[in-house]
Every structure is written in structure tokens, then in C-alpha cells.
Amino acid sequence: MPRKQFDLIVFDWDGTLMDSTAAIVKCIQAAARDVGLPVPSDDAASHVIGLALPEAMQ
């Protein structure tokens, strides 16, 4: 059987192969800490994932 050649293979990484929520939460908390803002709880930080920056900063 001949081997197929592919020009491109696409993987849906986030939420399919890996759940990056915990890593994103830790990054949000670290960024807040670094700029002197109150550090959000894990729950609060997870609720802004996917929002545009202006909405997330409210």
C-alpha cells in the first residue's frame, strides 16, 4: 500500500489535546502580580479566558 504524503497536518490543541486553563490562570495571576494589580482567584481568572483584553480588565 503506498504511503500518503501530506502538505499540512492541523491539530486542534487547546481543549482537544490539552486543557490549558490552569496554565492560563497562573499566567493571568502572575501578570497581575507583576504590574501591582490585585491577584484574581483561580475562579475569577478562569472566567476571563477568551474575553477581549478590555472586557477582561474590567
pLDDT digits (tens, 9 = 90+) for 2-31: 888 899 999 988 888 889 999 999 999 999
Say if residue 1's pLDDT is above 80: no
Place of cell 499540512: 8
Looking at residue 24, its pLDDT comes to 94
pLDDT computed for residue 52 by the predictor: 93
Contact 25, 45 (CB under 8 A): yes
**Does residue 56 register a pLDDT over 90?**
no
Instruction: Determine the pLDDT at residue 45.
Output: 96
C-alpha dihedral (13, 19, 21, 24), degrees to nearest 10: -50
Alpha carbon distance 28, 52 (integer Å): 13
